[in-house]
Amino acid sequence: MLMNLRAAYGEALLALAGENKNVVALDADLCGSTQSVVVEKNYPERYFEMGIGEQNMISVAAGLALTGKIPFAHSFSVFATGRPFDQIRQSVCLPNLNVKIVGSSCGLSDFGDGATHQSFEDLATMRVLPHMTVLCPADGIEVKWAVRAAAAIDGPVYIRLNRNDLPVLFDEKTSFEIGKPLVVKEGNDVALVCTGTMTSIALDAAALLEQQGISARVVHLGTIKPLCGKSLREALGNVRGIVSCEEHTIYGGLGSAVAEALCEAPLPMKMVGIQDRYGQSAVCYEELLECYGLTKEAVAKAAEALLKK
Amino acid sequence: MNQETVSAMKEKARAVRLGIIDALGVDKRGHLGGSMSCADIVAALYFHKMRHDPKNRFMADRDRFIMSKGHSVLAQYAALAEAGYFPRETLLKTKTLGSILQGHPERETPGVEANTGSLGQGLSIGVGMALAGRLDKLNYRTWVVLGDGELAEGQVWEAVTAAAAFKLDNLTAIVDMNGIQAVGRTCDRYNLGNIRGKFDAFGWKTFEIDGHDMAQVLQALDDASEVRGAPSAIIAGTVKGKGVSFAENTPAYHNNLLTKEQQEAARREIMAM
């Protein structure tokens, strides 16, 4: 079953706004795509159209948070994090303000629009900021949880969202927790540590590996930060190596975070991610994922190579 | 404007200037020039115009003050100490390790409403506060002090257009137009042209004053508060380093130190103002 992550986000944001009158939404002329339009339609007084001005939007969100609001500021992830990086650092994270930054159309998921609209650096830039929590859900169910979890944190949160239909991996009973790695498949030889859309691809890779007699564990990190080394170590069980899988540059993202968390007692590791490149246009998402090496075959191949070492 | 009020506020401005000298200390580099240029404005806001209470500093309908030109925070620290937000002696600890008085404004300081210092962000924060005030039906006003050099930051003009689009008549920007930025005269280094004309063109109600004439300052704060249907801007012509003759209109004192002798001379001059 597939679920669209944008639709799931809109549903969750609308429900949250209905329950908490302090929730306000800001957008930089992309509300139809990011789905913040649900707030404009239902609670127009709590929606602020900021025009195409992301820097101002983030600092305005800081001002709203300073007066007790819980602002959710929206744009595509490349614009929500890149253009106003200084505003996020200075206006929001330094004073630890209750601002939620929602980066939609992350990674390659805006396949048609090409390099300017694709974001491979946002996990890296957001996770280096003290006070920031970074969430990267894998399916629509987790998106809905992430919206509530973000609202429950009194501080800045970045939520990275894919724009496409993705397989449903979880259900209402899944026990999500900030910072908690989720073992979505047991296995003993190698761990595929993954986030976002790569979690469903890693599950497919694990099935491929099973056919070759390799037992692959799949560990989903819906939280990129904070990442607790001890919890991660426990989630890894007794595997002999790790393949990190992310729709993001291999510099500074999930793979780097995992390597940092385990550096005192490291395991052999390979990184599947984007190799120091920018994006490009394509006619469909899958075509781009293949072009950038983000497929189940690529993940399985990396796992095999790691175990052969 | 009532003469007694003008005289009383001139005394408060003197106290602010003396506080700036205390905060600056001896042989410590600090932003003397821009703090002195906005001292009269800051004094008039804290001791005459703004609704605020150091004993109830989080009251919902307090007026908000944002020092967007964060390096001039010494003036705000001096005013906060004078108003009783923290003891006056704390000023002597400005910019020392672990002090509540950092080099640029941080919310840990009692009375400071927002972190600023990366120039160009304070007016946007003020827009957020003004939007929240309207949403909550609270009648507070948000006052944002900007530098003229700071106006080169593009984000300022994003905030200017946003405030006009939202018709934020509970927001006032005050431009401390001292004409000097870090490296030299603003008109030589990066000429922004007609500042008032720009605010006018963007739909703000503007007032132009001598930022050291206390009667004019007080009148402009009142006039700005009366504007309805649009945000207001006060363009205040000022002198960088005002009150300390050797620092006045001297770019070197944007961020410079005072020797013990200079500190004493500065105090004498401020007392004689």
pLDDT, tens only, A145-174:
999 999 999 999 999 999 999 999 999 899
Question: Quick check: A62 and B135 CB within 8 A?
Answer: no
Report pLDDT for B268.
98
Chain A CB within 8 Å of residue B78 CB: no
ipTM, two decimals, is 0.96
Question: Quick check: A91 and B121 CB within 8 A?
Answer: yes
Question: Quick check: B125 and A59 CB within 8 A?
Answer: yes
Question: Quick check: A60 and B128 CB within 8 A?
Answer: yes
Closest CA to B163 of B81, B94, B233, B95: B233
Which residue of B62, B65, B116, B121 is the best one to mutate when testing the A interface, meaning the one whose CB has the most A CBs within 10 A? Answer: B121
* pLDDT tens, position by position, B110-139: 999 999 999 999 999 999 999 999 999 999
Closest CA to B248 of B13, B23, B73, B37: B37
By Cβ distance, the residue of A56, A66, A68 closest to B158 is A56
Instruction: Evaluate the omega torsion of the peptide bond into residue A181 and state whether it is cis, within 30 degrees of 0.
Output: no
By Cβ distance, the residue of A48, A55, A90 closest to B131 is A48
- pLDDT average, residue stretch B157-169: 98
On chain A, the residues whose CB falls within 8 A of the CB of B131 are: 48, 60, 63-64
Distance to chain A for B44, nearest Cα, Å: 24
Question: Quick check: B155 and A55 CB within 8 A?
Answer: yes
- Cα–Cα distance between B176 and B144 in angstroms, integer? 10
A 10 A CB-CB count for A106 gives 28
Chain A CB within 8 Å of residue B259 CB: no
Mean pLDDT of chain A: 97
- pLDDT average, residue stretch A187-193: 98
Distance to chain A for B158, nearest Cα, Å: 6
Catalytic residues of A: 54
Question: Quick check: B162 and A86 CB within 8 A?
Answer: no
On chain A, the residues whose CB falls within 8 A of the CB of B127 are: 56, 59-60, 63
For residues B223 and B47, the answer to whether their CB atoms sit within 8 Å is: no
Question: Quick check: B131 and A60 CB within 8 A?
Answer: yes
Residues contacting residue A182 through CB under 8 Å, at least 6 positions apart: A174, A176, A219, A220, A221, A222, A235
What's the CA angle centered on A228, arms A226 and A234, to 5 degrees? 145
Listed in order, strand segments (DSSP E) in chain A are 2-4, 23-27, 47-49, 70-76, 100-104, 133-135, 157-160, 165-167, 182-185, 190-194, 216-220, 223-225, 241-249, 269-274
Q: Residue B39: pLDDT band by 50, 70, 90 thresholds?
A: very high
Contacts by A280-283 with C-beta closer than 8 Å and gap 24+?
A280/A114, A280/A115, A281/A111, A281/A112, A281/A113, A281/A114, A282/A111, A282/A112, A283/A111, A283/A112
Rounded to a whole number of angstroms, the CA Rg of chain A reads: 19
Report pLDDT for A309.
74
Closest CA to B35 of B66, B91, B73: B73
Residues 123-162, chain B, touching A (beta carbon < 8 A): 124-133, 135-136, 154-155, 158-159, 161-162
Chain A CB within 8 Å of residue B117 CB: yes
- Cα–Cα distance between A294 and A292 in angstroms, integer? 6
Which residue of A22, A29, A50, A59 is the best one to mutate when testing the B interface, meaning the one whose CB has the most B CBs within 10 A? Answer: A59
- pLDDT average, residue stretch B64-76: 98
For residues B222 and B216, the answer to whether their CB atoms sit within 8 Å is: no
Report pLDDT for B1.
77
Type of residue found at B198:
K
How many Å from the N-terminal Cα to the C-terminal Cα in chain B? 20
> Does position B226 have pLDDT exceeding 90, yes or no?
yes
Q: Over pLDDT 70: what percentage of chain A? A: 100
- Tokens describing residue A3: 């679920």
Distance to chain A for B120, nearest Cα, Å: 9
* pLDDT tens, position by position, A44-64: 999 999 999 999 999 999 999
Report pLDDT for A83.
97
Question: Quick check: A62 and B128 CB within 8 A?
Answer: yes
* pLDDT tens, position by position, B250-260: 988 889 999 99
